[in-house]
């Protein structure tokens, strides 16, 4: 219960609409968690993993129709349709309420309604924001407990008079035909129905910390972004901080936990966050970043002691696994993990593994684990003021076109490069995988308002902060004619981070091209790396023909946002067109 009358009234209203058998206010305690786990073990929604190898670890199998975000069922309900923009599905607030409320009527009969007060961001940070999620899913409660700071302290923050975002969630019948993820930014309200999965159901994450927060950030002068945050310690012990935005399943968790190759002695990466960053201009003119989350909801497939040793060391205790495969001795398994598929493997749907049925672990299978278990977790991760950014990196998954790395020429060109990000779609959302689409700032599924206004907001920081981070673009996913990745990726991405930091300090060389500064092959530290010179040259090559076509596509994309597109972006198009024409004329 609560002394906050507004909260009490809203919970009562939700209870009379949804008709639960009981209402449980979550305090976030260990005892409460243990009871929830017991409940889920009893009803089969969790399976206990091998207590010897995986203490306090559980497997949850989703309904097979409910394994990823559903962008086509995600709506932003604003009074004015243009405020949501062409980048969002829109419904009027009245229609949105009516539609979901009709689904909510009586939906919790026979169930317990959990009320989860939560805080996004470190305790005591002026940048942290509260929310309350109402849900009928104990799995959601257990995951929210890892991903956010839930319970008594969060409730106290709200009762002290701070505003909070309201989130209603019911799994309903998990019917894909009756599934909606609705946002009402003008009311700081989320209504989610019909899914129990990740970003559809853990409302503090994408719904609050990105869609609603991006809306708030625009009116209040900050940024809510789909970014990891990491600290890079150099051999002298200086730590610089970097944030990086890549689309879903494009390498944020991996970069955030990177272990540099042995040949780069003395370098170390510290993890501040792996998915979301809130950025504020600080009194010193720099941009400061906090991670609003407390845990990782990370992609399992591809994670191994070779690709991400820090992540493997984080997992294996107090971890919830969702939709991974199960070995005969009750250990989690997925494609790309260290051990080969054992005899008697059970797939993510609980069937004996048969390659004819597809992969053993769902491609979007995930782990939920507390960030505090990560060996590289930054000592600054809970700093109330956040960490100051030296660079912001954008990237996508592109088998062609985008070079390994390039540096934007200035802030507005950086905003252009970020707005022009394109990436191949992944299993993180329902739909076709591998389709190239524009994913500005890696926020296509997450920006809670019109992208054109968002780009203008980004551009406005050019005058809001005097010591802005430099902006870069990376692509770890270039492929050769045989379809193999050209760049080793993972830990070797440290070589690119090193060039980026050296560019920030004015130490490294680069070649000026119309799209920005690319490294000369000799500017990338390849100590200890076996890579053919021709491959490295191809990775950093700039191709005017390819980019002429790309720019046409970028300009056409901007044009779909009409006259709201900020002039600075169109000016960048014009400049790059002119420089490309000069290049072609010179060739
Ligand atoms: P979300 O949690 O969906 O936002 O994803 P993310 O951006 O955190 O992606 P993550 O780090 O989990 O990586 C997704 C997939 O890409 C995994 O299968 C990784 O193994 C793979 N991956 C990550 N980094 C690299 C890289 O540098 N090179 C290659 N080839 N693959 C990578
Ligand atoms: C993403 O899809 O970008 C994720 C996973 O981080 S989810 O929480 O499902 O959004
Ligand atoms: Mn994400």
Q: Clarify whether residues 304 and 258 are in a common domain.
A: no
pLDDT of residue 587: 82
Q: Clarify whether residues 16 and 118 are in a common domain.
A: yes
Return the number of other C-beta atoms located less than 10 Å from residue 442's C-beta: 24
559 within a domain of the structure (yes/no):
no
576 within a domain of the structure (yes/no):
no
Res. 1: pLDDT tops 90: no
Ligand 2 atom closest to Cα of 202?
8
Last residue of a domain, one of 172, 192, 221: 221
CB distance 301 to ligand 2 below 6 Å: no
Last residue of a domain, one of 357, 373, 389: 373
Beta strands 295-299 and 366-370, pairing class: antiparallel
CA of 584 to the centre of ligand 2 (A): 41
Which helix (H) or strand (E) segment holds residue 495: the answer is helix 494-504
Q: Clarify whether residues 232 and 211 are in a common domain.
A: no
CB distance 367 to ligand 2 below 6 Å: no
578 within a domain of the structure (yes/no):
no
Burial status of residue 360 (CB atoms within 10 A of its CB: 0-12, 13-18, 19 or more): buried
Ligand 1 atom closest to Cα of 275?
4
Residue numbers of the domain that contains 145: 5-46+70-221
CA of 312 to the centre of ligand 2 (A): 19
Determine which residue's CA is closest to atom 24 belonging to ligand 1.
251
User: Which CATH number belongs to the domain containing residue 346 in this structure?
Assistant: 2.170.8.10
Q: How many residues does the chain have?
A: 587
Determine which residue's CA is closest to atom 5 belonging to ligand 2.
199
pLDDT (average), residues 80-86: 98
Spell out where 91-144 has E strands: 112-120, 129-135
CB distance 275 to ligand 2 below 6 Å: yes
Tell me the CA distances in angstroms from 54 to 48, 268, 369, 400, one per residue in order. 9, 28, 13, 41
Ligand 2 atom closest to Cα of 299?
5
pLDDT band of 229, cuts 50, 70, 90: very high
pLDDT band of 572, cuts 50, 70, 90: very high
pLDDT (average), residues 291-317: 98
Ligand 1 atom closest to Cα of 228?
8
Mutate to test the pocket of ligand 1, among 200, 253, 308 (most ligand atoms within 8 A of CB): 253
Q: Clarify whether residues 355 and 343 are in a common domain.
A: yes
pLDDT of residue 291: 99
Question: CB-hemisphere CA count at 13 Å for 556?
Answer: 8
Q: Clarify whether residues 451 and 305 are in a common domain.
A: no
Mutate to test the pocket of ligand 1, among 69, 251, 304 (most ligand atoms within 8 A of CB): 251
Res. 281: pLDDT tops 90: yes
Res. 553: pLDDT tops 90: yes
Cα–Cα distance, 488 to 477 (Å, whole number) = 9
pLDDT (average), residues 512-517: 98
pLDDT (average), residues 305-324: 98
End-to-end Cα distance, the chain: 73
Last residue of a domain, one of 343, 373, 403: 373
Cα–Cα distance, 424 to 436 (Å, whole number) = 4
Ligand 2 atom closest to Cα of 68?
9
| Residue ranges lining ligand 1, Cβ < 6 Å | 246, 248-254, 274-275, 298-299, 301-302, 307, 428, 476-477, 485, 489-490, 493
Ligand 1 atom closest to Cα of 301?
18
Q: Clarify whether residues 390 and 489 are in a common domain.
A: yes
Nearest to 217 by CA among 439, 384, 391, 457: 457
23 within a domain of the structure (yes/no):
yes
Number of domains in the chain: 3
Cβ-contact 258, 493 below 8 angstroms: yes
Please indicate whether residue 250 is annotated as part of the active site: yes
Helices (H), 176-269: 198-201, 213-220, 252-256
Assigned token pair, 37: 């786990």
60 within a domain of the structure (yes/no):
no
Mutate to test the pocket of ligand 1, among 250, 484, 488 (most ligand atoms within 8 A of CB): 250
Determine which residue's CA is closest to atom 4 belonging to ligand 2.
248
CA of 423 to the centre of ligand 3 (A): 14
pLDDT, tens digit, 9 for 90 and up, residues 458-513:
999 999 989 999 999 999 999 999 999 999 999 999 999 999 999 999 999 999 99
CA of 561 to the centre of ligand 3 (A): 25
Q: Clarify whether residues 289 and 301 are in a common domain.
A: no
CA of 432 to the centre of ligand 2 (A): 16
Cβ-contact 441, 419 below 8 angstroms: yes
Cα–Cα distance, 110 to 507 (Å, whole number) = 65
pLDDT of residue 491: 98
199 within a domain of the structure (yes/no):
yes
Cα–Cα distance, 356 to 36 (Å, whole number) = 36
Question: CB-hemisphere CA count at 13 Å for 11?
Answer: 25
Res. 131: pLDDT tops 90: yes
pLDDT of residue 367: 99
Assigned token pair, 516: 């920005």
336 within a domain of the structure (yes/no):
yes
pLDDT (average), residues 528-542: 98
Cβ-contact 6, 131 below 8 angstroms: no
pLDDT of residue 284: 97
Q: Clarify whether residues 312 and 229 are in a common domain.
A: no
Among 57, 107, 250, 374, the active-site one is 250
CB distance 248 to ligand 2 below 6 Å: yes
pLDDT (average), residues 401-417: 98
Q: Clarify whether residues 339 and 426 are in a common domain.
A: no
CA of 229 to the centre of ligand 1 (A): 15
pLDDT band of 162, cuts 50, 70, 90: very high
């Amino acid at each position: 219960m609560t002394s906050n009358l507004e909260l009490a009234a809203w919970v009562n209203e939700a209870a009379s609409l949804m008709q639960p058998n009981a209402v449980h206010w979550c305090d976030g305690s260990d005892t409460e968690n243990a009871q929830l786990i017991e409940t889920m073990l009893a009803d089969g929604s969790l399976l206990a993993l091998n207590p010897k190898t995986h203490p306090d670890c559980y497997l949850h199998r989703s309904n097979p129709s409910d394994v990823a975000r559903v962008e086509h069922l995600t709506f932003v309900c604003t009074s004015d349709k243009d405020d949501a923009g062409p980048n969002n599905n829109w419904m009027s607030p009245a229609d949105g309420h009516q539609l979901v409320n009709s689904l909510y009527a009586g939906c919790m009969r026979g169930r317990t309604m959990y009320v989860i007060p939560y805080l996004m961001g470190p305790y005591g940070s002026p940048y942290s924001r509260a929310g309350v999620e109402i849900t009928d899913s104990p799995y959601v409660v257990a995951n929210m407990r890892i991903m956010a700071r839930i319970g008594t302290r969060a409730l106290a923050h709200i009762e002290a008079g701070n505003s909070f975002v309201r989130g209603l969630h019911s799994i309903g019948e998990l019917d894909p035909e009756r599934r909606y993820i609705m946002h009402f930014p003008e009311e700081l309200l989320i209504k989610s129905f019909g899914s129990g999965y990740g970003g559809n159901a853990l409302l503090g994450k994408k719904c609050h910390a990105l869609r609603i927060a991006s809306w708030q950030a625009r009116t209040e002068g900050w940024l809510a972004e789909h970014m990891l945050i990491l600290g890079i310690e150099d051999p002298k012990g200086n730590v610089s901080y970097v944030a990086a935005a890549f689309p879903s399943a494009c390498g944020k968790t991996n970069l955030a936990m990177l272990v540099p190759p042995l040949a780069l002695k003395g370098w170390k990466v510290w993890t501040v966050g792996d998915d979301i960053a809130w950025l504020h201009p600080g009194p010193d003119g720099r941009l400061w970043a906090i991670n609003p989350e407390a845990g990782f909801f990370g992609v399992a497939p591809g994670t191994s002691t070779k690709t991400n040793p820090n992540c493997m060391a984080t997992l294996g205790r107090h971890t919830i696994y969702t939709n991974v495969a199960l070995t005969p001795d009750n250990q989690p398994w997925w494609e790309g993990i260290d051990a080969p598929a054992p005899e008697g493997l059970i797939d993510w749907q609980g069937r004996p593994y048969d390659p004819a049925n597809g992969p053993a672990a769902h491609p979007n299978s995930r782990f939920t684990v507390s960030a505090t278990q990560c060996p590289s977790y930054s000592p600054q991760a809970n700093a109330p003021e956040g960490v100051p950014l030296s660079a912001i990196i954008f990237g996508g998954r592109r088998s062609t076109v985008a070079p390994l790395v390039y540096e934007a020429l200035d802030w507005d060109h950086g905003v252009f490069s970020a707005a022009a990000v394109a990436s191949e779609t992944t299993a993180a959302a329902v739909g076709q995988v591998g389709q190239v689409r524009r994913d500005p700032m890696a926020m296509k599924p997450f920006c809670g308002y019109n992208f054109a206004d968002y780009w203008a907001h980004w551009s406005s920081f050019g005058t809001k902060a005097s010591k802005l981070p430099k902006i870069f673009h990376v692509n770890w996913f270039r492929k050769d004619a045989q379809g193999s990745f050209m760049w080793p990726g993972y830990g070797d991405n440290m070589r690119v981070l090193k060039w980026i930091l050296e560019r920030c300090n004015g130490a490294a060389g680069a070649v000026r091209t119309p799209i920005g500064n690319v490294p000369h092959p000799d500017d990338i530290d390849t100590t200890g790396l076996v890579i053919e010179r021709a491959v490295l040259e191809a990775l950093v090559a700039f191709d005017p023909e390819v980019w002429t076509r790309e720019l046409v596509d970028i300009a056409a994309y901007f044009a779909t946002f009409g006259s709201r597109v900020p002039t600075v972006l169109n000016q960048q198009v014009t400049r790059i067109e002119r420089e490309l024409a000069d290049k072609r004329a010179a060739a």
